[in-house]
Amino acid sequence: MFNELKKINSRPEPYQFYTAAELWTNEHTAKEMLKYHLNESIDVSSRNKNFIENSVEWICANFKVDNDTMIADFGCGPGLYSNSLAEKGAIVTGIDFSENSINYAKKSAAEKALKVDYIVDNYLEFDTSRRFDLILMIMCDFCALSPGQRKRLLSKFKKFLKPNGSVLLDVYSLNSFNMKEESAGYEWNQLNGFWSPDDYYCFVNTFKYKKEKITLDKYTIIEESQKRVVYNWLQHYDEEMLVNEFETNGFNVIELFSDVAGKTHHPQSTEIAIVAKPS
């Protein structure tokens, strides 16, 4: 028991283990994630309804979205942004590796007679001959990727954009990092059965990597028949770090904001939104 508890509470090296697919492709957790996506009053898996509406209005105005605007929504989830932008007339492609979320997005689009091309794929593997005016990656998805994955994705973005196209994405700031505390604990059926329909214990460890500005929420889920470990990594940035990463990967940074609804950037913001174009 001592050795097992020691293993549960062990601190891995940054990005030593990567289990993003567990949240989105496991049949049970995918359904639970969709519930959080569709809860309009909270900011857990998706922004709340009012924020999304304001964000879509700002995106359409700032990027002059019209009936010829081609948009790619990476990590589109259940299509909350994609469908809203299609309603504004944009030509939208949504990519997500959660089949559950994509099926919901397709159904919602069909109910509104919207033509959105939804694709079930890991966006790190996604390829297309299409070229876009705007690429979105919202809800700080970029932060969940390792440095190598981020480099790979930015290379894809550069390839997929039209010559004057733009990327808009958000990340967690160092203010968010500083607010996070290391902790360890466990709960029985944590989050009301989020991890499994069966009884389980979930050990939760939060680690901070001060040099790398990374946090990790490590979930060890123990059921009667199996044990699983899920790792949720998050990179945090200050303005210099974010600009340098984009410029190093072939982009010119146009402007920084506090969120993807165009709020003026403030040093105390917990998020940073970036608009960049290929250099």
Distance CA 155, CA 164 (A): 16
pLDDT of residue 44: 47
Cβ burial of 7 (10 Å; 0-12, 13-18, 19+) is: exposed
Neighbours of 35 (CB within 10 A): 11
- In this structure, are strands 214-223 and 200-209 parallel, antiparallel, or unpaired? antiparallel
pTM value is: 0.91
For position 159, which CATH number holds?
3.40.50.150
- Asked if the structure places residue 222 within a domain, the reply is no
What would the pLDDT profile of 142-156 be if each residue is shown by its tens digit? 999 999 999 999 999
Let me know: does 110 contact 38? Beta carbons within 8 Å: no
The angle, 0 to 180 degrees and rounded to 10, between the axes of the packed helices 80-87 and 99-111 is: 30
- Asked if the structure places residue 85 within a domain, the reply is yes
- Asked if the structure places residue 82 within a domain, the reply is yes
Report CA Rg, the chain: 19
What would the pLDDT profile of 132-186 be if each residue is shown by its tens digit? 999 999 999 999 999 999 999 999 999 999 999 999 999 999 999 999 999 999 8
- Asked if the structure places residue 8 within a domain, the reply is no
Nearest to 236 by CA among 265, 263, 276, 209: 209
Mean pLDDT across the stretch 53-75?
97
Q: Which residue shows structure tokens 């959660």?
A: 98
- Asked if the structure places residue 189 within a domain, the reply is no
- Asked if the structure places residue 194 within a domain, the reply is no
Distance CA 228, CA 26 (A): 12
Nearest to 150 by CA among 133, 165, 164, 171: 171
Domain range for 248 is: 49-172+237-278
Beta strands in the chain (DSSP E): 70-74, 91-96, 116-120, 132-137, 161-173, 183-188, 200-209, 214-223, 227-237, 251-257, 271-278
**Who's near 159: CB < 8 A, 6+ residues apart?**
none
- Asked if the structure places residue 129 within a domain, the reply is yes
Per the structure, how many domains does the chain have?
Answer: 1
Between 43 and 68, residue with greater pLDDT: 68
- Asked if the structure places residue 138 within a domain, the reply is yes
Q: How many helices (H) and strands (E) does the chain have?
A: 10, 11
What would the pLDDT profile of 10-32 be if each residue is shown by its tens digit? 999 999 998 877 766 677 877 77
